[in-house]
Amino acid sequence: MPHVNKDVQNVVGTNNRQTRLTRQFDATVGAITAKEPVSDELTEDLGLTDVLTRSWLDLVNLQPTPLPRCPHCDGLRIRPDRNKGGNLPSFFCHGCKRSFNRLTGTPFSHLVNRAKGAAMIPLLSRQMSLDQACKRLGRTKKAVLSWLLAFRRWLLELDPSGQLEARVRLGVRVAPHASCIRCGFEGAFLSGGFDPQRRRRIRCPRCGRSRLLDVVQKEGHGFDGVVVHDAIETAVRARRKYFPDMPAPLVARAAQLGDAAPMIQVRKLARLSNIALPERRRPANSSDREEDPQLSAFLRRQVDAALSDSKRATPCPWCGSDQTTYHPVPRPSGLPGFRCRACLAYFTRVSNTPLVHPMARAYASRFVPMLGWHETGAGAARELGIAVGTLHTWVRSWRQWLLVLDPTATMEGRVMLTLRAQKPA
């Protein structure tokens, strides 16, 4: 288990019972280790950003009203005071005879360059390292650490339960907690990089065996994680060099690895092979090899769209979500790949279609016009030069795809190839 700084404590609730607060992390974003590229915009908690922004604007309000309480004696006999320097309005308390501004008594009272500090608010919930934040803000690590500590302490003042503070992910690195089926190790696994499809791998620290993180993830569930580094530990040590009596903030140490989405969607769309086909027969004494122009035109449009090299994301073929993005890793098929952030699936436009097989793509232009033929499977197979069993498999999968494309079954009803002829009256 990683070392836990004794100065950074767990959140403790009433009756000294530990409160289970977890920081949620997205295992698919490369910010779990400091050196990996990051897509941090996808992990921003807009709710936390909004709460902190409104709270910060109240603190740096340039208007003398509303009058705040005195941070020294909590008194209400307050009046505006003459400006003591700086651009924030000053106030005077008649109860304790002391002057103050709205930042007095807050974790921000000793910090400078407030404009750059406020620019850090959108980054607090993002899954990124401290070095990446320093580069983004153009500030030193010492300055970012000071503001990070101040914001996390301020969140604990706004919400003593720790719920808001547990939504901060900047500077926190975690490792997934898993079990190794080879050596029996259970605990924090190391990062194992990515597979060719950019799915994250994890590695057992004892025997070195790696596995896909997706494999052990159940739909709708995340992973327990272990915090291996929290930048607040460094910030506390640095701050106590100047303020030895500064109280240590009570922060959540538990973490969970999952997707940034609130809930991973179940892959609810039916697989093509599971779609039931209606029982049909073609008209008796029909054996012509005439193409159905309407059916062929419809399918050619679908084939052209599926084989397009456009990088524009399409809805997920497994869950139907439109939370999909282009995935730049080259595929063996040469087709553009995509990733669904709702169900964590990787796919191309031919996924869950008959065109997923290379041979089917190669024969598509010749096979599509045959679907309207009043012909047996053997005759069509000889025409294409393929096995009869392969042709029957293709016809079935294309009929199933037509039911997906046209739920009214109008287009599927035009397929006559391989259907048995009706018995003569």
Host H or E run for residue 134: helix 130-137
Q: Mean pLDDT over all residues of the chain?
A: 80
- Nearest-angstrom CA–CA distance, 163 and 165: 6
Across residues 307-330, what is the average pLDDT?
Answer: 87
pLDDT band for position 353 (cuts 50, 70, 90): very high
Nearest CA to 117 out of 138, 96, 89 is that of 138
Q: How confident is the model at residue 31 (pLDDT cuts 50, 70, 90)?
A: very low
The answer to whether the beta carbons of residues 359 and 372 sit under 8 Å apart is no
Q: Which of 270, 257, 258, 264 is nearest to 323 (CA)?
A: 264
pLDDT of residue 257: 57
**Do the Cβ atoms of 380 and 370 come closer than 8 Å?**
yes
Phi and psi, residue 339, nearest 5°: -135, 135
- Residue among 347, 348, 364, 366 at smallest CA distance from 398: 364
Q: What's the pTM?
A: 0.53
What residue has token string 């597979």? 195
Contacts of 106 (CB under 8 A, 6+ apart): 59, 71, 150, 154, 157
Contact between 54 and 155 under an 8 Å Cβ cutoff? The reply is no
**Quick one: average pLDDT of 132-141?**
89
Ordered DSSP codes for 325-375: EEE-SPPTT---EEEETTT--EEETTTTSGGGSHHHHHHHHHHGGGGG---
Residues near 304 by beta carbon (within 8 Å), at least 6 away in sequence: none
